[in-house]
């Protein structure tokens, strides 16, 4: 049995009912509700992985819930209902501005939320994340992410040293260098001796670094872990987006214990990259020759079993599956491309007629 979430009239989300796969991908326009769904899933998973929350008074847990998701939705969603049904059958319900639950049990996992606009976590003063969430008016999920990044940076000797050569090399390729902290200064070395300080690095490097720190940190690769990523494509070239998804494939498969990913995106390259990993798995299953030749294109440890992924298009507060026969259907993205191309064709016609 897998976790299930039902959301009605909460913020931009009108009606959502879905069973979560190991990897669940959401795509849709901005303000469609992707992040709201992702944050809710993260919250319900986070509290069952952290013992102090399980013993909290329901009213206190409700306050934490509001800080995680954002207070604005609670002023505009008086009729909201949310049911989160855990894989063990226990339900946590939000209704009438209350969290209702009985016998909530720890699931011995970790849950981390990786927000969009991650560059700030590369640059902001570390002391910022030691402040109380209410004092600085930051959602708890965002504040906790900053605190996690702080802790990882304090153990810089182990950064990007997972013991898996493919994973470590992909991190260097995505970041375009090796990250180190020398004398308290964050640096990215692009040769043995030449480096750039993190505050002068490209926006893509600043966005990618916090994401890579989480994905490769042993705290999140060795345990049952739920990783929620907003817009993994941010400021990354399409080729690098593809390599990032390949990295996620390696990390997902490089496990003795279960991992889950929730991913929100606007990028067709993210969808195509997942399709490559899904189709590689299917192609390799044809015979030994196909398996060998497929592994020459994409390493076997990055392939994703189609049974372990689902994808949804979020629109007007609802979702619909865009996953069929083990692949993500990206018709919506294709339609947008066709609309843009049609405008260009019409401009060409005008140019030819009038010139």
Tell me what percent of the residues of the chain surpass a pLDDT of 90: 46
CB-count exposure of residue 128 (10 Å: 0-12, 13-18, 19+)? middle
Question: In the CATH hierarchy, which fold is given to the domain comprising 4-137+223-354?
Answer: Rossmann fold (3.40.50)
Backbone angles phi, psi at 184, to 5 degrees: 80, 0
Q: Over 90: is that where the pLDDT of 270 sits?
A: yes
Which pLDDT score, from 0 to 100, does residue 248 have? 95
Which pLDDT score, from 0 to 100, does residue 46 have? 86
Closest to 207 in 3D by CA, of 192, 227, 188: 188
Per DSSP, the three-state class of 199 is helix
Residue 306 to residue 218: CA distance in whole angstroms: 26
Residue 123 to residue 15: CA distance in whole angstroms: 38
Residue 299 to residue 297: CA distance in whole angstroms: 7
What is the b/e burial string over 146-170, where b = at least 16 CB atoms within 10 angstroms of the residue's CB? bebbeebbeeeeebbebeeeebbeb
Looking at per-residue pLDDT, the higher value among 143 and 76 belongs to 143
The domain locations on the chain are 4-137+223-354
Which pLDDT score, from 0 to 100, does residue 36 have? 92
Write the pLDDT tens digit of every residue in 6-35. Answer: 999 998 999 999 999 999 999 999 889 999
Give the DSSP per-residue string, 10-58. ETTEEEEEEE--SEEEEEE-TTSSHHHHHHHHHHHHHHTTSHHHHTS-H
Q: Name the packing angle between helices 165-175 and 238-253 (round to 10°).
A: 160
Mean pLDDT computed over every residue of the chain: 84
Q: Over 90: is that where the pLDDT of 327 sits?
A: yes
The DSSP output letter for 302 is: G
Closest to 10 in 3D by CA, of 84, 110, 101, 85: 84
Residue 160 to residue 288: CA distance in whole angstroms: 33
For residue 214, the tally of other CB atoms under 10 A from its CB is: 22
- Check if the beta carbon of residue 240 is closer than 8 Å to that of residue 174: yes
Q: Given pLDDT bands bounded at 50, 70 and 90, which one contains residue 223? A: low
Q: What is the mean pLDDT of residues 147-169?
A: 77
């Amino acid at each position: 049995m897998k976790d299930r979430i039902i959301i009605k009239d909460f913020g931009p989300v009108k009606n959502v009912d879905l069973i979560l796969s190991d990897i669940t991908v959401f795509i849709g326009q901005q303000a469609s509700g992707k992040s709201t769904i992702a944050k809710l899933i993260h919250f319900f998973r986070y509290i069952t992985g952290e013992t102090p929350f399980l013993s909290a008074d329901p009213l206190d847990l409700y306050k934490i819930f509001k800080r995680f998701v954002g207070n604005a939705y609670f002023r505009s969603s008086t009729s909201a209902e949310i049911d989160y049904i855990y894989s063990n059958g226990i339900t946590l319900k939000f209704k009438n501005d209350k969290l209702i639950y009985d016998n909530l049990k720890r699931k011995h996992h970790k849950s981390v939320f990786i927000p969009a606009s991650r560059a700030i976590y590369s640059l902001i003063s570390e002391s910022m994340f030691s402040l109380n969430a209410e004092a600085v008016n930051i959602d708890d999920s965002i504040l906790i992410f900053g605190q996690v990044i702080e802790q990882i940076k304090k153990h810089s000797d182990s950064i990007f040293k997972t013991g898996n050569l493919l994973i470590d090399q992909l991190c260097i390729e995505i970041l375009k260098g090796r990250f180190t902290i020398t004398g308290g200064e964050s640096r990215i070395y692009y040769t043995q001796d030449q480096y750039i300080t993190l505050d002068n690095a490209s926006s893509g490097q600043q966005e990618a670094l916090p994401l890579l720190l989480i994905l490769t940190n042993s705290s999140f690769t060795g345990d049952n872990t739920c990783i929620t990523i907003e817009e993994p494509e941010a400021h990354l070239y399409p080729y690098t987006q593809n390599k990032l998804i390949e990295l996620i494939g390696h990390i997902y498969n490089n496990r003795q214990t279960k991992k889950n990913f929730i991913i929100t995106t606007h990028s067709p390259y993210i969808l195509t990259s997942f399709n490559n990993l899904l189709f590689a798995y299917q192609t390799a299953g044809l015979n030994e020759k196909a398996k060998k030749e497929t592994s020459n294109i994409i390493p076997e440890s990055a392939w994703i079993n189609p049974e372990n992924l689902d994808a949804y298009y979020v629109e007007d507060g609802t979702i619909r599956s865009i996953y069929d026969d083990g692949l993500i259907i990206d018709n919506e993205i294709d339609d947008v491309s066709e609309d843009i191309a049609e405008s260009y064709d019409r401009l060409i016609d005008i140019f030819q007629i009038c010139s």
